[in-house]
Structure 1
Amino acid sequence: MMAAGIGENAASAARRVLNLERAFLTQAVDFMLDRGIRQFLDLGCGLPGAGSPHEMGGLAGRAVRVVHVDHDPGVVERAKRVIADTEHRYLLCHDVTDVPGVIGMARMTGMLDLRHPVGVVAVGLLHLVPVVDRLLPRYSEELALDSVFAASHLTRRFEGGEAAELIGGPTYPREPREITAMFDGLPLLKPGVVALPHEWGKPVRGTAAAAGVVAGIAVKREPLGPAQMAPARIA
């Protein structure tokens, strides 16, 4: 969401961030679809708009089911009008950090079959959460193997005030190492958390340390036994 009345430079930066996030979202969802995933959990869905997660159900012309989650009642009411008369999408007004609550309500909608992999999208969300507290791993614990997680995040290249001006509210930029740690226990696709824009499967063009927006995609795998685990390394 871009704040009304922000300066021209901030508005230009906000549009760039939004475009980077939209391009990442499309790439991540395409990856999930190619892996056969047909059910999605869209965390922090935000306001409707071109290229937003609300369009996931129509990407690639595939029949999919999407549960959108946002805690802002105003956002949810506006989003409901976008998905009115659709059978494959459902909106929950709930705090995304309440993992058992979100999962329980998503199961009750009948939209998600938790016996099968789910695509979890957290694009433009985590830098709005003051204490992330293993949010992605906690969702992973509730979902089937081969579920895929895609998340983007603003870095500390944006100072707190600048980021808040971009987003229109309290914002918590973090270092790439902190963002990588949010995927704790979830194997990241190579090359890991990277600067946006980036196309997975191609060489990295920029360093995460110098980027304003980074992102990563991870897949839930069978946990490794002690003999299979490599020593932890810091890139």
Structure 2
Amino acid sequence: MADDSAVRSGEVDLTRPSAARVYDYYLGGAHNFAVDREMAERAMGMWPDLPLIMQANRAFLRRAVQFCVDAGIRQFLDLGSGIPTAGNVHEVAQAAAPEARVVYVDNDPIAVAYSRTILDGNERTAAVQADLRKPDEVLGNPEVRSLLDFDEPIAVMMVAVLHFVSDDDDPAAIVAGYREVMAPGGFLVLSHASQDGQPHQADSHQDLYRRTPTPMTMRSKAQVIDLFEGFDVVEPGVVFLPLWRPASLDDVDEHPERFSGLAAVGRRTATTSR
């Protein structure tokens, strides 16, 4: 189960669920607590498709990483990376390109602790505890700077994380903070919970997350498109999770809109200040 040392040190509040640990539970992981499982079960009671949506999101991540590797990317910054489960960024990237370098960033001490355990001995990876809402701090972190070269193209991963950033924190400005240090040819990989597809489910789900330290703000396709300012969105554009470059049409659900998450990849074409 979850990391005992972090619990003993007081880093983890066992009275409130964590989005990272709830996500781990949806994916069948073991790095979660009773409070996380209770929230996940309540959410699934309202929205039984949630585990399938999370699995579709994970499958998108794997396809997007492979796309980036095929495009020549050899370094990845995974923001809001969560708790490691099968098919992590470094597993996919390094299977195709052993020289690929990956930095995971999360503000949950459990996620970072387990990441460091799994990554032990892999010199081309690192896990950093930091808040993605503060790009300057993340980008200035010594571990990030020692492993990643921002003069070369990089893939910045924001997979299923920006819906935990409120409008007050200005997600577009946060994306811009990372965009401005990206060399041309890099990619933004993004997925986002959306009201589109199943709007009748959205309000109750957002209400449930408002009771946690990580309230959720679902956004429309138009709002997600706006996050890609400064990037050329590659085909097929901003689409429901299963529709982003599926390996086979057999993998596409008859009703992809039931997967109320949007996904896209954008290529950085120019910079303004680096």
Partner of 1:146: 185
* 1:83 counterpart letter in structure 2: L
Counterpart residue number, 1:39: 75
CA deviation digits over 1:105-134, x for unaligned, max 9?
Answer: 167641001110001111111111113133
Moved more, 166-175 or 12-21: 166-175
Equivalent residue number for residue 157 of structure 2: 121
Q: Which amino acid aligns with 2:267?
A: V
SS of corresponding position for 1:46: coil
> Are 2:266 and 1:218 equivalent residues in the alignment?
yes
Residue among 137, 155, 175 paired with 2:176: 137
Cα separation, partners in 2 of 1:33 and 1:108, compared to 1, 3 Å: closer
Q: Which amino acid aligns with 2:160?
A: G
Deviations 1:36-94 (A, max 9, x none): 11110001010011123353443325321101100112221122111112111111111
Deviation at 1:12, TM superposition (A): 4.1
The normalised TM-score by structure 2 is 0.72
Q: Is the partner of 1:219 in helix, strand or coil?
A: strand
1:131-174 CA-to-partner distances (Å, cap 9, x unmatched) read 31332232110111101111001102342432565897421111
Equivalences for 1:1-235 in 2 at 5 Å? Answer: 1=23, 2=26, 3-5=36-38, 6-7=41-42, 8-9=44-45, 12-53=48-89, 55-60=91-96, 62-105=98-141, 109-130=145-166, 131=169, 132-156=171-195, 157=199, 158-163=201-206, 165=208, 169-200=214-245, 212-222=260-270
Say which SS state the counterpart of residue 4 (structure 1) adopts: helix
User: In terms of mean alpha carbon deviation, does 128-137 or 1-10 score higher?
Assistant: 1-10
Structure 1 position 98, deviation (Å): 0.8
Identity of aligned residues (%): 27
Q: Is the 8 A contact 1:194 1:216 kept in 2?
A: yes
* Cα distance in structure 1, aligned partners of 2:46 and 2:91: 26
- Structure-1 separation of matches of 2:60 and 2:97: 19
Q: Structure 1 regions of 5+ residues with no counterpart? A: 225-235
Q: Which segment drifts farther, 213-222 or 69-78?
A: 69-78
Matches of 2:204 and 2:52 in 1, distance apart? 18
Match of 1:162, as an amino acid?
H
Q: CA deviation at 1:223?
A: 6.7
Number of aligned positions between the proteins: 224
Gapped regions of structure 2 (runs ≥ 5)? 1-22, 27-35
Q: For residues 156-212 of structure 1, give each alpha carbon's deviation from its aligned partner in whole angstroms, at most 9, with x where no partner exists.
A: 234243256589742111111111111112111133211120143999988998751
| 8 A contact 2:244–2:263 mirrored in 1 | no
Contact 2:66/2:93 (<8 A) preserved: no
Inter-CA distance 91–108: structure 2 relative to 1 (3 Å threshold): closer
- For 1:191 and 1:57, how far apart are their aligned partners in 2? 22
More helix by share: 2
What CA distance in whole angstroms lies between the structure 1 residues aligned with 2:121 and 2:148? 19
> How big is the alpha-carbon RMSD for the aligned residues of Structure 1 and Structure 2?
3.0
CA distance in 1 between counterparts of 2:161 and 2:148 reads 21
